[in-house]
Amino acid sequence: EGVDNASMYSQPDEIWQVVKAFNEVPNSMFTIAAAFGNCHGVYKVGNVKLAPEILGNAQKYIKEKMNSKEDKPVNFVFHGGSGSEKKAIEEALGNGVIKMNIDTDIQWAAWDGVRKFEAEKHDYLQSQIGNPEGEDKP
Report the alpha-carbon distance of residue 124 to residue 68 in Å, rounded.
63
Domains of the chain with bracketed CATH: 5-102 (3.20.20.70)
Write out pLDDT tens, residues 76-134: 999 887 778 889 999 999 999 999 888 777 888 899 999 999 999 888 888 766 666 77
Write out pLDDT tens, residues 7-47: 788 999 999 999 999 999 999 999 999 998 877 666 666 66
Strands (E), 2-133: 76-78, 97-100
What pLDDT was estimated at residue 135?
74
Write out pLDDT tens, residues 46-88: 666 889 999 999 999 999 999 999 999 999 999 887 778 889 9
pTM listed for this prediction: 0.74
Nearest partner of 85 among 48, 110, 60, 35, judged by Cα = 48
Q: Are 95 and 56 in contact (CB under 8 A)?
A: yes
Q: Are 59 and 19 in contact (CB under 8 A)?
A: no
What pLDDT was estimated at residue 123?
84
What pLDDT was estimated at residue 23?
94
What pLDDT was estimated at residue 57?
97
